[in-house]
């Protein structure tokens, strides 16, 4: 069974692999950091967050300083779909942001062969939602 984890990332529970949801390309082992199987583009954050003040006149321009901020874009190596973007400090390894208990997930979805097409009819109990929007 394949379960969506993010907009562009899914887990194949039988094979225990991370996959690109766009075309199903295998990215890597589901018990490891999925980012290890992706292409990485280290981008200058000033390309995205343009200075609000003239950098010739001001030291601080309200734009991220690449000496302090790294922007990493992660892409599927097969179809080039952008899977994730991460802001971190320069030189830091990719953050391990998703760690799934594969064994528990397999138990929860045992006996089902397909992820439900509708979010309104899940094969597991729905959470109770407080109609007031707060818990008291």
**Average pLDDT for residues 75-104, to the nearest whole number?**
94
Q: What band does 130 get if pLDDT is binned at 50, 70 and 90?
A: low
Q: Which residues contact 66 (CB under 8 A, 6 or more apart)?
A: 44, 45, 46, 90
Backbone angle region of 80, left / alpha / beta, with phi > 0 → left and psi within -120 to 50 → alpha = left
Is residue 42 one of the residues assigned to a domain?
A: yes
Is residue 130 one of the residues assigned to a domain?
A: no
Is residue 82 one of the residues assigned to a domain?
A: yes
Tens of pLDDT along 39-77? 999 999 999 989 899 989 998 888 899 899 999 999 999
Domain, as residue range, for 66: 2-108
Instruction: Please give the tally of structural domains in the chain.
Output: 1
Is residue 131 one of the residues assigned to a domain?
A: no
Sheet bearing 82-88, strands edge to edge: 39-43, 70-75, 82-88
**Average pLDDT for residues 76-86, to the nearest whole number?**
95
Q: What band does 32 get if pLDDT is binned at 50, 70 and 90?
A: very high
């Amino acid at each position: 069974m394949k379960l969506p984890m993010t907009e562009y990332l899914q887990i194949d529970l039988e094979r225990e692999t991370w996959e690109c949801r766009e075309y199903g390309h295998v990215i890597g082992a589901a018990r490891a950091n999925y980012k290890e199987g992706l292409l990485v583009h280290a981008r200058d954050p000033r390309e995205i967050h343009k200075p609000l003040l003239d950098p010739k006149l001001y030291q601080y321009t309200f734009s991220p300083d690449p000496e302090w901020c790294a922007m990493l874009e992660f892409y599927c190596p097969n179809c080039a779909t952008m899977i994730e973007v991460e802001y971190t400090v320069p030189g830091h390894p990719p953050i391990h942001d998703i760690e799934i208990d594969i064994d528990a997930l397999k138990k929860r979805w045992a006996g089902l062969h397909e992820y439900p097409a509708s979010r309104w009819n899940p094969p597991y109990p729905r959470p109770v939602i407080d109609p007031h929007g707060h818990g008291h």
